Each structure stands twice: as structure tokens, then as C-alpha cells.
Amino acid sequence: MTRVKRGKIATKKRKAILKYTKGFRWGRKSKERAAKEALLHAWTHAFKGRKQKKRDYRSMWQVQINAGARFSGLTYSKLISSLKKNKIILDRKILADLAKNEPKVFEKIVEKAKA
């Protein structure tokens, strides 16, 4: 059987792992075994974080819409239900942006929803 020299491949593998751990603390940025372990956890949390971010944004939009609706004498839930009844199709992201940056336009939408 012929001899297989793995020096290049092993080094390449190690460098690739350590490249991802740049900026990690302590030995997790420089020691291969610790770096591998750190990456397993980091990538798991990154996946979870992308899902969590969507939930966080939606709740933030709800708070902003509620704050805008309170100026017009409505609550968030009453506003959303009246928008659905009057077939005004605007998602929460757009409503929150209008409530925050364009309060006059948001007030007009609330008035339409009340009617």
C-alpha cells in the first residue's frame, strides 16, 4: 500500500476552522479542539437567533402600532380587528413605520378603520 501524506489537508482543515473563530475569546480562537466546540455552539445559536429575530421584530412592531393607535383613542387589538373588518390590508411592518415616521398618514388610516 502506498503512503499517504496528509500534512496539507490537515493544515487546510485546521486553518478553515480557525478562520471562523476569529474574534472569539481565549483559547477558542487559537486552539483547534476548543475552536471546533465553540463553532458547534455558535452555529446552533446563530440558527436559533435568526428565528428569534423575526419574533422580536413582530413584537416591536406591535408596540409601535399600539403607541400610535393610543393617540387616536384605540387600542392595538381594536385597531387590527377594525382594519380587518374594513378590508384594509397593511402588514404590521408598514403600519409600525407609518406610526413612527408618518403620524398624519397613520391617523388617516385609523380614521378609515374607525368608519
Q: Given this structure, which CATH class describes domain 8-114? A: mainly alpha
Rounded to an integer, the average pLDDT of 5-25 is 91
- Give the start-to-end residue ranges of the domains of the chain: 8-114
Residue 73: which pLDDT band, with cuts at 50, 70 and 90? very high
Residue 65 has pLDDT above 90, yes or no: yes
Residue 6 has pLDDT above 80, yes or no: no
Provide, rounded to the nearest whole percent, the portion of the chain with pLDDT above 90.
Answer: 90
Closest CA to 35 of 18, 23, 47: 18
Measured between alpha carbons, how far is 49 from 5 in angstroms, rounded to an integer?
Answer: 41
Closest CA to 22 of 34, 9, 35: 35
Pick the residue with more confidence: 3 or 57? 57
